[in-house]
A and B are shown apart, each in its own frame.
Chain A
Amino acid sequence: MTDLLQHAFNGLVNGSFYALLALGLAVIFGMLGVVNFAHGAFYMLGAFGAFILLNEAGVNFWLALVIVPVVLGLFGMGLERLLVRRLVALDPLYNFLLTFGLTLIFQDLLRMKYGSQPQPYPQPAGLRGTVDLGLFDFPAYQVFVLVFSVLVSLGAWLLLARTRVGMIIRAATERPELTRALGIDVGRWVSPVFGFGIALAALSGVLAAPMRAVSPLMGADLIILVFAVVVIGGLGSIFGSVAAGFLIGMLQALGNVYVPGLATTSVFILMAVVLLWRPAGLFGREETAV
């Protein structure tokens, strides 16, 4: 029983990354109708950002956790103004291709500079030990990742559900024309929302640096899984993407223990089942799925 709990807890930690990435994707998709393929690349840029700050300027993990998402978020806003916006009116495939192209460019630029070998990133000083969780010990850093991402997800939810800005964004997401007709300048919020989504990807990248191999391909490996998470949660559903993120993380961890070999496949099987049973996703509403 303790074992089971330990594996489930471990799954939640891995789910943290899926949740944060899926949340960013969902917000962007909801507001712009853009499937951002470059999301994995921004996750990778986040990890590299932390690595570069540490090695070039001696900036520690905690500062990087603030600086990197802000910088990349602003960069994302610029990208939206400069490129993404011009294609929004066209078939969604155009933006899909654009972001796919951007992914390849980012990957190769870093590969030119750093090669494909993974780069070292140490664990932050205060979190090197283990924490006693009652039933079992767990690495402090992993526990921090879980708590932190739950807080960020809660924060994002509060922002969207309880503030005026959030209300506008939700309204613009679900009924853009109607919101516009009510005299609200929807266009003004598109860039910040895109930037916010990118900042979340960058944030999870920084969180991943001490745990995973920091390499130009780290995002490309992950993004397909995150797409599956978003589909399962319900495209554009903010709560759904977070919940599905944690759920999938747990499913994968338990799968690894009890049915090894099927762990990753099980995610896609679940996706197929969900699509058949609830085409809008577990938490999506029919309207938002269109």
Chain B
Amino acid sequence: MRRNLIPAISTLAVVSLLAACGGGAGGPSSGGGKISDDKIVLGVINDQTGIYSALSGPNAVEAVKMAVEDFKAKHADDAVSKNIEVVVADHQNKPEVANTKAQEMYDRQKADIILDVPTSSAALAVASQALAKKKLYFNITAATTALTGDKCNKYTFHYAYDTYMLANGTGTTVTEAGAKNWYIVYPDYAFGQDMEKSFTKAIETSGGKVVGKKSSEFPNTSGDFSSQLLQAPAAHPDVLGTMHAGGELVNLVKQYNQFKLKDKGVGLSVGLMFITDIHSLGPDALAGTRFTDAWYWNFDQQNRDWADKFKEKTGSRPSFAHAGNYSAAMNYLEAVQAAGTDESDAVVKNLEGKEINDFFLRNGKIRAEDHRVIHDVYLAEVKPKSDVKEDYDYEKIVTTIPADKAFKPVSESTCKMGQG
């Protein structure tokens, strides 16, 4: 009896010693100081029911959950932690709500990273919380360049798109294609004003001219843009550039078509458009319109494969924000896996300067200087209805804008990372 006990105890001691050392080869570390609170927590803060819920919203959460599942399947027993949670909060596009929710997520729900966060002002609030709590924040759906400019910090990364990339892509290419004279209409709030400035700069740099601009109240309660549209032809522009988003864009384009501005020689160019907007308008209302897209689901087989999986889960096709959320979550988890810990500084170190190629980030790179995640983006054109073969098959990719040309160069960045 006693003789049997001794080897049993010693075996137990050796095993526990090994475990304490962080496990031998192949053993997942389920304890110790490497993974905080014994779990990795990904938080998603976005608009769950309002104007931006179709383009990111609940389906963005679904995309993050898909990334977690795929990560678990890929690494199986070797995964740095098997305990990965996704938590969600609705910020209603209000910065003060976003601020409180971010605080709550980092402190109480032990989130290691927050993802998404549409609405620029809300995104800036989350970025400041990320810095204060020293936890990560991957922005996907907010557009302001301030996140990688004046307000950049060590723990904030900017995925997918921004106002510079949109203006640079659409403003430059449309001007160079011959539409020299622009008439800009924009909603009178932070995003619209920022877009108007970025576009004006891009247009003038490439030899064009802004012959008129008109703001509209935000939010536009009457849904009416006819007075802005009626004034445009008098300035004889080649193209009308609209900086409106979501439901307002839908209203404006409907009225643009009704006033037959195209027949009066005024083309249409859209600053920011999601595939969900094209779906709302029907492709014919926008046929021929060019815009810059961060990602398109039907670009090639690789994108399509992912979009098929997304459709199985959600019943619809992904916008670039959905795909961006997946890619961001996946690349964060991979960085934790590589670093062997979810400790923020170690993960940031792993991410900085990393070159990534996945279905979302083509020729992707995480710039260490300002944390802008650069990748190929696309100049897209809306297909006429006759070319649409299935639901959401709305875009023709005209050209690919290479990663190093698509975003604001580091030399122009106002980010001072060290002092953040």
List chain A positions with a Cβ less than 8 A from chain B.
3, 6-7, 10, 13-14, 111, 115-120, 122-123, 130, 137, 139, 141-142, 210-213, 215, 217-218, 221-222, 224-225, 252-253, 256-257, 260-261, 263-264
Contacts and interface: CB of A to CB of B under 8 A. Distances in A.
Given A117-B54, A224-B221, A257 B258 contact: no
Contact of B250 (A115, A118, A123, A221): A118
**CB-CB nearest 5 A-B residue pairs:** A117-B54, A256-B227, A139-B258, A120-B282, A213-B250
B255 A211 contact: yes
B53 A253 contact: no
Contacts of A217: 51, 247
B281 A256 contact: no
Interface in B204-228: 214-217, 219, 221-224, 226-228
A256 B250 contact: no
B377 to A, nearest CB: 23
A117 B226 contact: no
Given A118-B246, A213-B251, A261-B217, 17 more contacts: A10-B226, A115-B53, A117-B55, A117-B280, A118-B247, A118-B250, A120-B280, A210-B254, A213-B247, A217-B247, A218-B223, A222-B223, A224-B221, A225-B221, A257-B230, A264-B217, A264-B221
Interface string B176-191: 0000000000001000
A119 B276 CA distance: 10
Q: Looking at A122, A224, A260, which has the most chain B CB atoms within 10 Å of its CB?
A: A260
A269 to B, nearest CB: 15
27 contacts: A10-B226, A111-B49, A116-B51, A116-B53, A117-B277, A117-B280, A118-B250, A118-B251, A118-B280, A122-B282, A123-B258, A139-B258, A139-B260, A210-B254, A212-B223, A212-B251, A213-B254, A224-B221, A225-B221, A253-B227, A256-B227, A256-B228, A257-B227, A257-B230, A260-B214, A261-B188, A261-B215
B310 to A, nearest CB: 16
Interface string B247-290: 11011001100111000000000000000110111100100000
B50 interface: yes
A264 B260 CA distance: 26
B302 interface: no
B258 A142 contact: yes
Interface of B: 49-51, 53-55, 188, 214-217, 219, 221-224, 226-228, 230-231, 234, 246-248, 250-251, 254-255, 258-260, 276-277, 279-282, 285
A111 B53 CA distance: 11
A3 B235 CA distance: 13
Contacts of B251: 118, 212-213
A118 B285 CA distance: 14
A119 B219 CA distance: 19
A141 B279 contact: no
A211 B285 CA distance: 12
A7 B221 contact: no
Contacts of A256: 227-228
